[in-house]
Amino acid sequence: MLQRCGACQTIAYPPRDLCGCCWADSLSWVEIDAGGVFLAETTLHTSTNVYFRERMPWRIGVIKLDAGPTIIAHAHADAKEGARVCMLARTDKSGQGVFIALPERETPNMADDKALRELTCDPKHRRVLVTDVRHPTGQALARGLVRAGAGKVFLGVAEQWKPFVGRDELYALPNTEVAPLDLSDADSIADLTSSIGGKVDILINTAQHMRPGSAMTRRDAITARDEMEFNYFGPLRLLQSFGPAMRSRGADGANSAVAWVNVLSVFALANWPAYGLSAASQAAALSLSQCARGDFAGSGVKVVNIFHGPIDDEWHQPLPPPKVAPEALGAGIVGALQQGLEQSFIGDVAKDIETRWREDPALLERELTLARLMD
Amino acid sequence: MTTLQMLSTALLSGKVRVVDLTHTLDPDFPVLVLPPEFGQCQPFRVEEVSRYDERGPAWYWRRFSCNEHTGTHFDAPIHWITGKDLPNASVDTIAADAFVRPACVLDFSAEAARDEDFVLTSAHVQAWEEKYGQIEPGHWVLLRTDWSKRSGAAYLNMRDDGAHSPGPDATAIRYLLEERGIVGFGVETIGTDAGQGGHFDPPYPAHHFLHGANRYGLQCLSNLDQLPARGAVLVCPPLKIKHGSGSPLRVLALVEQSDA
């Protein structure tokens, strides 16, 4: 996205208060064509910046965007001078928005490029902790991560004395290791941190406790407390135990810590009373993720929020479709990491809620909370 | 010498030994698993308040939480619907003398080893009495199955159709209550009823009859293999929780050492 002048349609770069062409003050952010031409390249061999000093040599280029401006950007090794390129906007390790010029068409092992990997959280070669593989989402995700070439996938399992569907197939996956982990148990988190806390590059919290019910359809706060226990206090304990080590490993060579992933219900954005108390705990979890963004700021670890609608699992059985399949959610999480996104809405319901939330949060709230009367 | 003086002397000399029948309260210790639509038993959880640090420089203390039926625990009559209207039926109102009583230990560990769904019947109890003598009124009866020697998944022994562990049927419990007047029934398993006890008639007969008769249950006991068939004295006071349906507790047994 770049700014476009509402008066003369000129695209502005870098961002400005007034149009550099006609001085109008009606600049608005719009999606622009990602295409461009790689005009010139250079390779930096020295820098006063400590980040780049450790990563020399570093190739950059000047790109003439089809949309108008000429910009300086990071360059993928396969993007060549004189050729057409495709621009990708991402946040860098410091959290700044930057561009990287990619070859126009996909090249072999394109995702392995050093400059690109600095901007994405590709699980390939990295060590990933999936906090809950009892749930089908965690299982689908673990399979997806193995397929994506993760160096190691730690499979978080609570209450190992309780069997679960899919366990044997899951445990047979290559490059995986079972990690006893119960988010409601501070001791279990501390134990796991002491054994693998220094080598988790990506942490994906899939543990969720979602139950139907609103404030007045339930009789007590027990289930709500369980929801807060798993959906809010669980991630908080994870942040307090795994977070500091990951934050200090944001530039730990090839295997640096890169992403902290929260899997959240889209009803964290606006309450849906059918699962109203679960949604309330998800809103708390969303707020916590924003707090975590502050904690991780500048560390090189991205906080990635994945939003989903009702999952096609046993706790959402009475709901009609559309529901997001665990496989789709797992694939969406892997995709978001590969692309280096910080936020992704997966499935029809999540995308629909996102659109309505962006347009008018108050109207969305009204529609969700009055849905019962509209039926 | 008074009776208590004799006991004191025996305790100090080691003539009477104290055996701990309690599992450690541990977050990993299994809890009862009910069908998911029902409320669940919360496992033991603990969080640090301070540990000689900025939160409290000279002291270490923690906050714990659990269900009234987590770990080695006591079941009061109001735990079950059959005992809901009985007098003095919650842990805070039960007369304290029930917490210090003699115990008979029925060893059916060999049977439980052969059959994980072993069901104790009145015939089994009578066979035990033929060997060891009649169970007298006011005793605790403890069923030894060596189940406490199992750990992890093997302890709860969950399968697709639920838990599989030994326990009594209605005939055994009714015999112990109606013919023998026991004060309570204790087990090594997670409940006084068998893992499949929900399918018995009536469902959960131990809970149904014990608590309906204003009697008590003890679950998740260990070290029953260190007790004699007769002659041990059980010490099992639950926490005095207002309206409590039960409570985790420390269970001790006093055992007289033979002269050998």
Query: Are A160 and B158 an interchain contact pair (Cβ–Cβ within 8 Å)?
Result: no
Instruction: Please tell me which residue, A237 or B35, carries the higher pLDDT value.
Output: A237
Q: How many CA atoms lie within 13 A of A317 on its CB side?
A: 3
Distances (CA, A) of A287 to A228, A282, A339: 13, 9, 24
Query: Given B45, B48, B158, which is nearest A162 (Cβ)?
Result: B158
Are both A277 and A172 inside the same structural domain?
A: yes
Are both A166 and A184 inside the same structural domain?
A: yes
Are both A140 and A96 inside the same structural domain?
A: no
Query: Are B153 and A223 an interchain contact pair (Cβ–Cβ within 8 Å)?
Result: no
Chain A contact probe: residue of B26, B33, B45, B51 with most A CBs at under 10 A: B45
DSSP state letter for B83: G
Sign of CA dihedral B240, B243, B248, B252: positive
Question: What are the start-end ranges of the E strands in chain A?
Answer: 2-5, 11-12, 27-30, 35-44, 58-65, 70-75, 84-91, 97-103, 127-130, 152-157, 176-180, 202-205, 259-265, 302-308, 343-346
Residue where a domain terminates, one of A84, A119, A154 = A119
Residue where a domain terminates, one of A119, A140, A166 = A119
Query: Are A163 and B159 an interchain contact pair (Cβ–Cβ within 8 Å)?
Result: yes
CA-nearest residue to A233 within chain B is B47
Q: pTM here?
A: 0.90
CATH code, domain with A195: 3.40.50.720
Chain B contact probe: residue of A159, A182, A240 with most B CBs at under 10 A: A159
- B208 labelled catalytic: no
Query: Does the pLDDT of residue A375 top 60, yes or no?
Result: no
Are both A334 and A227 inside the same structural domain?
A: yes
DSSP-assigned letters across all residues of B143-208: EE-SGGG--THHHH-EETTEE---EE-HHHHHIIIIIT--SEEEESSSSSS-TTGGGSSSSSHHHH
Distances (CA, A) of B18 to B184, B234, B256: 20, 10, 9
Are both A347 and A213 inside the same structural domain?
A: yes
* CA gap A259, A341 in Å, rounded: 10
Are both A150 and A65 inside the same structural domain?
A: no
Residue where a domain terminates, one of A95, A119, A143 = A119
- Domain membership of residue A249 (yes or no) is yes
Are both A313 and A331 inside the same structural domain?
A: yes
Residue B160 distance to chain A (closest CA, Å): 9
Query: Does the pLDDT of residue B82 top 90, yes or no?
Result: yes
Query: Given A159, A162, A187, which is nearest B46 (Cβ)?
Result: A187
- Domain membership of residue A24 (yes or no) is no
Residue numbers of the domain that contains A82: 33-119
Are both A182 and A215 inside the same structural domain?
A: yes
Residue B78 distance to chain A (closest CA, Å): 20
Mean pLDDT of chain A: 94
Query: Does the pLDDT of residue B221 top 70, yes or no?
Result: yes
Are both A180 and A71 inside the same structural domain?
A: no
User: What's the CATH number of domain B13-256, 3.40.50.150, 2.40.50.1070, 3.50.30.50, 3.40.50.300?
Assistant: 3.50.30.50
Q: Taking a C-beta distance cutoff of 8 angstroms, is the pair B188, B147 a contact?
A: yes
CATH code, domain with A95: 2.40.50
- Domain membership of residue A184 (yes or no) is yes
Residues of A in contact with B153 (CB under 8 A): 160-163
> For A241-277, how does the pLDDT look when each residue is reduced to its tens digit (9 = 90+)?
999 999 999 888 777 899 999 999 999 999 999 999 9
Residues of A in contact with B162 (CB under 8 A): none
Residue B36: per-residue pLDDT: 85
Query: Which position among B79, B139, B207, B211 bears the catalytic label?
Result: B79
Residue A324: per-residue pLDDT: 96
Query: Does the pLDDT of residue A4 top 70, yes or no?
Result: yes
- Domain membership of residue A16 (yes or no) is no
Residue B42 distance to chain A (closest CA, Å): 9
Are both A111 and A144 inside the same structural domain?
A: no
> For B18-28, how does the pLDDT look when each residue is reduced to its tens digit (9 = 90+)?
999 999 999 99
Mean pLDDT of chain B: 96
Are both A38 and A79 inside the same structural domain?
A: yes
Query: Does the pLDDT of residue B35 top 90, yes or no?
Result: no
> For A142-154, how does the pLDDT look when each residue is reduced to its tens digit (9 = 90+)?
999 999 999 999 9
When pLDDT is cut at 50, 70 and 90, the band that residue B259 belongs to is: low
CA-nearest residue to B150 within chain A is A161
* CA gap B81, A263 in Å, rounded: 41
